[in-house]
Amino acid sequence: MIPETLPTPARLAIKVKPSVEKIIRQGHPWVFEQGIIKQNKEGKAGDLAIIFDSKKNQLLAVGLYDPQSVIRIKILSLQKEEIDEDWFATKIQQAYRKRLPLFSTDTNGYRLIHGENDGLPGFIADVYHQVMVVKLYSAIWLPYLPTIIKSLVAVSKCSTVVLRLNRLLQKNPQALYGYQEDQLLVGALPNENIHFKEHGVQFCANVRKGHKTGFFLDHRYNRKRVGELAKGKRVLDIFAYAGGFSVHAMAGGATAVTSLDISAPALALAQQNMALNFPDAPHEIIVADAFQAMEELSEERKRFDLIIVDPPSFAKKESEVERALFQYARLAKAAIQLVAKNGILLLASCSSRVTKEQFYATVLQAVKEMPIKWEEIERSEHDIDHPIGFKEGAYLKSIYLKIGR
């Protein structure tokens, strides 16, 4: 249940550096700690930060104050408006309308709120059939949570809401006002494993213990595309996790699918998801390091008609970008060795620090260095329920290549 006693947010008067004023006017949702030059009093998480410009002392933006983060203020609006129940209801309705085309595709697993990109920084809401998982990346939302949950339930018609908290919030329980990780906020949850559909394909998400909110919804378009390309093909899904690509490939008519991941529990999920749809599918799993396994498969002269390479984020900070690009090039070259003649390679990146320009250029350069014939088929980015609202919000990019020989 939602705690009864929650703090009433205070109002803070803030001034920022001229350079920060500029990026706020351009629509960037973050104000870093070092960008603040004047503040009338100390603030607590969720206080309203009213930012005034330096020349005319007029309102520049309204945001939420976060004393625990280097991103000290998350911007909500560039206008003078009350951040109240109506404001949240409007934001959530706007987000829901963006997702409407999904609901005609036999899909009931989707992201309803995508953080900054839907105007609610650090706030994620994913729906799995009748169960919603809210994941918070900042304590700024705790004072407003009852109001927001009310609007989310009204729009989504979900009967159950589960709260997930990121690791930093979990480490500071005294600042959570009684909220807890895995807390049930609305309804009942007899089984934490929830079945949902994605373009008619069934999956299972553990909404209390699963990674993130239980499933990776952002690759929906690419999973569907893999299904369209898979008919009659031998498929290798590298970094398979819960088998999203593997199951869609089988649904599309693949003759055999191999799921490869270093995590045995993840591949157990992949087997469960496959069995939900195809109990007798020719589905093999390989528990191994991706690079080592690819080398061994190459030595065994194994070849696949369709290979998906979807690694975890290689660059969580700027200093890791160069190393990440090296790894993407390495992955591309290793995977190409396993692609059969006229086969297809899909290589993806979820590293927000790596731009799409860097990623595509790195992959294409790696391919050009190999003595093969090849052609680019397609590039893809975010699906409809993962909109991009600012530069750093663009993290997902994928490229499809046809490999000759």
Q: pLDDT for 153-193, tens place per residue?
A: 999 999 999 999 999 899 888 888 889 999 999 999 999 99
- 3-class SS at 291? helix
1 pLDDT more than 70: no
Q: pLDDT for 217-276, tens place per residue?
A: 999 999 999 999 999 999 999 999 999 999 999 999 999 999 999 999 999 999 999 999
Question: Helical H runs in 300-388?
Answer: 321-336, 356-368
* Nearest to 333, CA basis, from 376, 357, 304, 364: 364
Q: 214 falls in which pLDDT band (50, 70, 90)? A: very high
Q: pLDDT for 153-164, tens place per residue?
A: 999 999 999 999
* Nearest to 112, CA basis, from 104, 101, 97, 395: 97
Q: Which domains does the chain have, with CATH numbers?
A: 11-77 (2.30.130.10), 85-195 (3.30.750.80), 218-403 (3.40.50.150)
Instruction: Tell me the two tokens of residue 18.
Output: 């001229």
Q: 221 φ, ψ to 5°?
A: -60, -45
Q: pLDDT for 56-77, tens place per residue?
A: 899 999 999 999 999 999 999 9
CA distances from 295 to 249, 267, 290, 400 (A): 23, 20, 9, 22
Residue range 29-42: average pLDDT?
Answer: 95
The answer for residues whose C-beta is within 8 angstroms of residue 266's C-beta and 6 or more apart is 240, 241, 242
The answer for residues whose C-beta is within 8 angstroms of residue 66's C-beta and 6 or more apart is 45, 72, 73, 74, 138, 139, 140
Q: 392 falls in which pLDDT band (50, 70, 90)? A: confident
Q: What is the pTM of this model?
A: 0.93
* Nearest to 89, CA basis, from 110, 135, 120, 65: 120
* Nearest to 294, CA basis, from 247, 241, 237: 237
Residues pairing with 353 in the sheet = none
